[in-house]
Amino acid sequence: MKILVLGPVASGKTTLAKQLHERYHLPLYELDSIVHDDINHEKRPVKAQLSMINEIIRSHKEWILEGMPRDYLDVLASNATMIIYLDYSKKQLLRRLRIRHLKYKLKITKVPFETNRDLYLRMKSYIENDHKENLVECMKKYPTKLIIVKNKREIQKLFLAIEEGQILKYQ
């Protein structure tokens, strides 16, 4: 399987990708790690990001890539056998974002990047302004690969469908 997990901020992309990784033992890559160079504390150029993605696609028969839709979404989608889009309500996403931010401030949980008020407000704005246009346009090309998940119950149905072999028909 080549699984692309997409969704907005706080939709549970990383959580779902890790669950898929644990169940099916597929290599897992986070797009944030490809986009951001943690050593130099800067964003990588898009060309370097694409190079890293192409290396993953070429060198692995199976994989899970997770993250927010990016400029190179078409490259990812065309190489995936399954695209899972987490489409939770804005109300739920904003609630999750507030909880995540609060847990970080109280040092209850760690996140891979520093969460400050500015970042919180940018993430909140991203959720409120709903940037689905490019995603919707791209996904029209891959309707047989696309699985839209709107709640936790549907995630359980997704795992069941994979285990029963219903999803594998896309490979």
Domain annotation covers residue 123: no
Please state, in angstroms and rounded to a whole number, the distance separating the CA atoms of residues 146 and 139.
Answer: 7
- Number of structural domains in the chain: 1
Q: Which residue has the tokens 């990383």?
A: 14
Amino acid type, 76: L
Q: Which residue has the higher pLDDT, 153 or 117?
A: 153
Is pLDDT above 90 for 54?
A: yes
Distance CA 159, CA 157 (A): 6
Lowest mean pLDDT among 110-114, 117-121, 136-140: 110-114
Which CATH number does the domain housing residue 141 bear?
3.40.50.300
Highest mean pLDDT among 32-41, 55-64, 136-145: 55-64
Closest to 158 (Cα-Cα) out of 10, 12, 31 = 12
Residue 106 inside a domain? The answer is: no
Query: Is 115 among the domain residues?
Result: no
pLDDT of residue 102: 79
Domain-embedded: residue 99: no
β-partners of residue 43 are 36
More confident residue, 63 or 43: 63
Residue 118 lies in a domain: no
Any residues with CB less than 8 A from the CB of 56 and at least 6 apart, and which? 27, 29, 63, 65
- Structural domain boundaries, residue 165: 2-88+131-170
Q: Model confidence at 99, in pLDDT bands (50, 70, 90)?
A: confident
- Percent of the chain beyond pLDDT 70? 88
